[in-house]
Amino acid sequence: MTPAQKWQLMVVSHSHWDREWYLPFEAFRARLVGMLDRLLHLLETNPDYKHFMLDGQSIILEDYLEIRPDRRQDIARQVEAGRLLAGPWYVLADEFLVGGEALIRNLQIGIAIARQFGPPMMVGYLPDMFGQIVHMPSILAGFGISAAVIWRGVDRSIPTSEFFWRAPDGSEVLAIHLPQGYGLGRALPRERELLMKRLHNIRQVLEPWASTSYLLVMNGDDHLEAQPELPAVIALANENLEDAVLVHTTLPAFIEAVGQEMGARSHSWPCVEGEFRSGQRALILSGVTSTRMWIKQRNQQCEDLLLHWAEPFSAWANLLRRRSEGADRAASDAGFLSTAWRLLLQNQAHDSICGCSIDEVHDEMAVRFRRCQRLAEAVSGHALRYIADLAAPEGKTQVVVFNPLNGPRSGFCTARLPCQDGRQPLALEDEDGRRVPLQPLRHSPPSPGVIQERVQVGFLPGEVPAYGYKTFGVVYGKPTRPGRPRPAQAIENDYFRVEANTLDGTISLTDKALGVTIDGLNRFLDGGDCGDEYNYCPPTHDELIANPRHPSRIRLVEDGLARSTLEIALDYSLPQGLTADGQGRSRRRRTCRIVSRASIYAGVPRLDFETEVDNPVENHRLRVHFPTGLRSQFAHAEQHFGVLARPLAVPEDDGTWAEAPIGTHPHKSFVDVNDGQRGLLLANRGLPEYEAIDGSQGVTIALTLLRCVSWLARPRLPNRREVAGPPLAVPGAQCLGRHVFHYSLIPHSGGWESAFVQAHRFAHPLRSVTTTAGKGQLAPRASLLSIGSSALVLSALRAAANGQGIIVRLYNIASQPTSGEVRLEQPHGDVEVVNLNEEPLGPAEVDERRVHLSLKRNEIITLRFRTSR
């Protein structure tokens, strides 16, 4: 800034609207309606009150208009005039705990709602997110958004408030960092001296970080209303300031001004690549990745159901329906799907999915999850049955196996099959006459006089086409009497020998190809937690319990041609809670039953676990440990559109950090530790928190199963130096009762690249539909889409939003550029590349119906295949 220039204090009025948090949704909405009534009145009656931003989330408008439907035009008038700023998000989600595709839908829906009223605010406003993900610049740039406003997670190594933030694929946005959050300029006083003092303090915070003469003064805070007197306050300030001027403005105008002043000099801004998860300057509330774990599990189930089943298979069924019934009669599932997505996205707001609200909020979330799941199940169930009936030959009982991933692939699949004239299903037979044996599951021996009508079977169907299906006939016969499972502590297939330790219940896994045995796997470790919904905090005198009270009970519960399962039952004696002073764990004990089932399958290089915990105790953290025996400085954790190598070392806290650093981190479906020669990959379903712990015997991966606390926020924690929220009791956060967890081990040679496909297969198993209503109108096996490279991962496959075609979104998960071909295996017309908002960018490179793709590392591409109407 030259001496002649004045500081420009750009005042942006807003309200940070946590939709549900320490009050339930309807209680906050009652306040929201009053706030917006008064805000509209202010905008209509005082032209000097220029602008107000609706927190970057369009759901505020939906929530308001449901109560005040008559104010639609009044809102539109203010949005159109640029005085009320709406969008671009639907809700302010947590970035780490939701999927990449969920963040894309969040923006799509948020922008679409805002557009009903006027031009949306196209700024990546991320004011309160508990850290920033590495791929956010790719997502924003994919919508044509060129700037982000962020707070939490940025450390002191970035010297200015303004910098370029780059994603692994090279996408860049201008990042505006809020040095002290979104409330610095809240409630500006109208009294002259107080005002001048506040402005002095604000400038002391902002000026040292500013790289231009513009300072962003956020005039608002949590659930605060607009200040009607603000125009007078600004006038008063401007009469009294000599070296600065206050301007009532908007975020887009601030970003524009900053960009213009830097102009050609903007190349001198730092360019930073990566995620921001540092607690050095602001709280990142790192414990939320394990608070109320059931929420994370349900969210993952719903995302998987929508993205891998409901959307792709309803798009396919709809194509077929249009062909056979005509466009007029073929009803689309778009309405069901968009309702399901909205329910899910409402649960993804940061205070909701993080589990850091009062119990009533999370009770309401459970209902939204259930409704989302029912909608998605109804759509996918209907679609799968429609396709199955068209594909299955006429007459006999048929099993149609569906694959929701690239392929062809096999995997364990189950079906419930009818018996026939006292004969039992023995095998499945494909159209080439190849037979697949059936393994009876949960077999109840026939008792005299009782006719068993249906049996549950497991099988490995062989290669099922990519995003496709394969049909089988059922072969019936007289069952051989099932032998009683032999007593055993070990199971074995071509890949592994898996043995349970009779003393502590841990697993020894021998990988036959690698010639390696790893001991001590699947050890449960329980410690105290005197933290709260936001942060894990071990008590001063913690007591770690790493062994069951008795030698474990081990049973071979299945030993068939498809699946073999060892069941390990453990009784842990756990402290009932904390001591009265909260400094240690109580002496009173309760028995915690943990039952873990370890399964291997013919032809699948994976060891799957299903673990049931009946939690009877409070204020503790339960994790499961996997010592890898490997040396490494990094763990490779799957993120939204790629894999991030995070260092194991925990940064040093010099006592000035807002939140002490911790070794736990978020991941998506897997984390991997490898030494370049070989590695161990741990996959999970909806368990987003891991820690890779460096020890004398190598790296141990810890996966959090439960973190149980009693307070929304404690006023003081030794590892947190700021207040995180109100001190309310939240008994539901103790997570008492029964929980079931799914995770899987994949030993491998080389790096994670050679094993992650198995993690995705674990996350997305095959499904079957049994039908006797076959019409035989389709081929006995078929595919909707095929992708020529395993590094190109599907993000979305669904009917286009404009109803004209199929959307296929892919990303390159690899850390280097990848080329490959993509083919929609159904009749289609032109193929165009579109952006993340499905707006056309240009024609795709197509050769003989194959689309050629060359993607940078972690690059996302969206194709629209035109299909005839």
Write out the residues near Zn ion by the rule CB under 5 A.
18, 128
CB-wise, 20 or 558, nearer to Zn ion?
A: 20
* Strand blocks (E) in 439-515: 439-441, 454-459, 468-477, 490-492, 496-500, 507-511
Contacts of 296 (CB under 8 A, 6+ apart): 97, 289, 290, 353, 355, 686, 687, 688
With beta carbons less than 8 A apart as the criterion, state whether 521 and 507 touch. Answer: yes
766 vs 466: CA distance, rounded Å:
11
Nearest distance from C-beta of residue 134 to Zn ion, angstroms: 22
CB-wise, 9 or 60, nearer to Zn ion?
A: 60
Nearest distance from C-beta of residue 17 to Zn ion, angstroms: 8
With beta carbons less than 8 A apart as the criterion, state whether 9 and 188 touch. Answer: no
CB-wise, 151 or 294, nearer to Zn ion?
A: 151
Residue of 190, 186, 356, 163 lying closest to 267 (CA atoms): 163
Length in residues, the chain: 869
Within the chain, how many helices (H) and strands (E) appear?
A: 14, 46
CB-wise, 187 or 516, nearer to Zn ion?
A: 187
Instruction: At 781, list the tokens.
Output: 């096996």
CB-wise, 92 or 617, nearer to Zn ion?
A: 92
The angle at the Cα of 862, spanning 856 to 866, to the nearest 5 degrees, equals 140
Nearest distance from C-beta of residue 65 to Zn ion, angstroms: 22
CB-wise, 18 or 303, nearer to Zn ion?
A: 18
Report how far apart, in Å, the C-alpha atoms of 672 and of each of 2, 396, 629, 630, 759 are.
Answer: 52, 46, 13, 11, 10
Nearest distance from C-beta of residue 86 to Zn ion, angstroms: 18
CB-wise, 305 or 354, nearer to Zn ion?
A: 354
CB-wise, 18 or 859, nearer to Zn ion?
A: 18
Nearest distance from C-beta of residue 19 to Zn ion, angstroms: 9
- Taking the CA of residue 197 as centre, how many other CA atoms within 13 Å lie in the half-sphere pointing to its CB? 6
CB-wise, 128 or 529, nearer to Zn ion?
A: 128
528 vs 845: CA distance, rounded Å:
57
Contacts of 819 (CB under 8 A, 6+ apart): 789, 852, 853, 854, 855
Nearest distance from C-beta of residue 16 to Zn ion, angstroms: 6
445 vs 442: CA distance, rounded Å:
10
Position 161, amino acid = S
Nearest distance from C-beta of residue 350 to Zn ion, angstroms: 6
Residue of 151, 157, 124, 161 lying closest to 262 (CA atoms): 161
With beta carbons less than 8 A apart as the criterion, state whether 725 and 355 touch. Answer: no
CB-wise, 354 or 384, nearer to Zn ion?
A: 354
CB-wise, 63 or 529, nearer to Zn ion?
A: 63
CB-wise, 187 or 196, nearer to Zn ion?
A: 187
Strands 124-126 vs 147-150: parallel, antiparallel or unpaired: parallel
DSSP 773: -
CB-wise, 223 or 416, nearer to Zn ion?
A: 223
Nearest distance from C-beta of residue 49 to Zn ion, angstroms: 24
3-state SS, 60-106, equals HHHHHHHHCHHHHHHHHHHHHCCCEECCCECCCECCCCCCHHHHHHH
Cα four-point dihedral sign 523, 524, 527, 532: positive
Nearest distance from C-beta of residue 222 to Zn ion, angstroms: 7
Nearest distance from C-beta of residue 228 to Zn ion, angstroms: 24
Nearest residue by C-beta to Zn ion? 128
Give me the residues paired with residue 671 across strands: 637, 682
Instruction: At 694, list the tokens.
Output: 């460096």
Nearest distance from C-beta of residue 295 to Zn ion, angstroms: 17
Report how far apart, in Å, the C-alpha atoms of 391 and of each of 734, 772, 780 are.
Answer: 48, 11, 6
* Strand blocks (E) in 552-619: 553-559, 563-575, 589-601, 604-615
Nearest distance from C-beta of residue 55 to Zn ion, angstroms: 9
Residue of 335, 303, 305, 468 lying closest to 391 (CA atoms): 468
Nearest distance from C-beta of residue 291 to Zn ion, angstroms: 15
With beta carbons less than 8 A apart as the criterion, state whether 342 and 91 touch. Answer: no
251 vs 120: CA distance, rounded Å:
12
Could you tell me how far CA 802 lies from the centroid of its own chain? 26
With beta carbons less than 8 A apart as the criterion, state whether 299 and 353 touch. Answer: yes
CB-wise, 495 or 534, nearer to Zn ion?
A: 534
CB-wise, 128 or 275, nearer to Zn ion?
A: 128
Q: CA torsion, points 336, 337, 341, 342, in degrees to nearest 10?
A: -40
CB-wise, 58 or 786, nearer to Zn ion?
A: 58
Nearest distance from C-beta of residue 18 to Zn ion, angstroms: 4
Nearest distance from C-beta of residue 56 to Zn ion, angstroms: 11
